[in-house]
Amino acid sequence: MTARYIGLMSGTSLDAIDLVMVEFGTPAITWWVKESTPFPADLRQAILTAQSTRTVTLPQIIEWEFRLGECYAKTILDHVSQEDLETVRAVGSHGQTLWHQPPGSDNPFPGSLQIGDPNIIAERTGRPVVADFRRMDMAAGGEGAPLVTAFHQQYLSHNNERRAIVNLGGIANITLLDGQRIVAGFDSGPANSLLDAWIQNTLQEACDVGGNWARQGRVNEVLLEAMLADPYFQRMPPKSTGREYFGLTWLRTCLEGFPEISAEDIQATLLELTAVTIVNSIQTLGFDTDRLILCGGGVNNAYLVQRIRAQAGCPVESSESYGLSPKWLEATAFAWLAMRRVQDQSGNVPESTGAHHAAILGGLYQPI
């Protein structure tokens, strides 16, 4: 029987824990399990507060590590039978990003901290666990992100097309492919995380379903230009970011000169910011895109997809059209990276992350 792999992903939106159990064929992927578990509400709020205030205690980190490790393990045991679990070669657990600090002049000590103790997952499930995917790339001089570039190339490239693969997660990340060749991979800027944060802050709603609230507002062009003046958008790849940077503190700083703007106009402007920075970042690199393929939770934001499509200048499709569900793509990618790790194959793309060389990603945690 072909080895199976489990992928676990909880992204910067902290909305759910996604689990897949897959077999990787050539070229097809077979999904045996696809399940999603709500992220613990009290833990979600505690982590969001810690990220926005930059304040956390050592006992809190220990507690969150333990609780998330148990939560990830329970997610597996709740949805994968013991018989099926015995066919799993390894679990790829991304963990929950608490803080991502890429290299730069203002970050002399780069690092990335994901929590959710892999030792607990290995002990509870009896399966090897691969975790801590980002820091080997950073040790090699890279950004530690994005890490899905090689997976995009493996499963979404086309010999005769120049494609932009855009993952609309908490942060938007982009892979540019010229046929089979990886041209670049980078984070373009905020996506769901700021849109979610603003509606949660203002209306106490979990997210802007379909972009309907943003649709009620009008883009404030002056505010949009002020946002686009942020130095991050002027940087060339490789580059990565997170909600540590593009959070409510950043937004409130942008809003200081706009006391009269309505809440729905702010939402509309944030959504436009996501669409514009995606398209601008591709065009700035001089990449002539034949097709733009969307994945990630933002695909469900119909208004965001509409605004991207209006500006892209090429066909815009969902990864669903190519056999990869947008919802499950990232969890599947980390199952694939776990496979690469246990096969002693590199998982990063130096052209994407800026690492000095290819690296085998992740620590391997073996149960007895």
**What is the pLDDT at residue 266?**
99
**What is the pLDDT at residue 259?**
87
Task: Please report, as a single letter, which amino acid is at residue 11.
Answer: G
Q: What CA–CA distance (Å, rounded) separates 221 from 115? A: 39
Domains of the chain: 4-144+328-365 (3.30.420.40), 148-314 (3.30.420.40)
**What is the pLDDT at residue 105?**
64
Query: Is residue 190 reached through a cis peptide bond, with omega within 30 degrees of 0 on the bond before it?
Result: no
**What does the H/E/C string look like for the chain?**
CCCEEEEEECCCCCCEEEEEEEEECCCCEEEEEEEEEECCHHHHHHHHHHHHHCCCCHHHHHHHHHHHHHHHHHHHHHHCCHHHHCCEEEEEECCEEEEEECCECCECCCEEEEECCHHHHHHHHCCCEEECCCHHHHHCCCCCCCCCHHHHHHHHCCCCCEEEEEEECCEEEEEEEECCEEEEEEEEEECHHHHHHHHHHHHCCCCCHHHHHHHHCCCCHHHHHHHHCCHHHHCCCCCCCCCCCCCHHHHHHHHHHCCCCCHHHHHHHHHHHHHHHHHHHHHHCCCCCCEEEEECHHHHCHHHHHHHHHHHCCCEEEHHHHCCCCCCHHHHHHHHHHHHHHCCCCCCCHHHHCCCCCCCCCEEECCC
**What is the pLDDT at residue 26?**
76
Sign of the alpha-carbon torsion through 337, 339, 341, 345: negative
**What is the pLDDT at residue 25?**
86
Answer whether 134's CB lies under 8 Å from 147's CB.
yes
**What is the pLDDT at residue 1?**
65
Which residues in the chain show pLDDT less than 50? Answer: none
Stated pTM of the model: 0.95
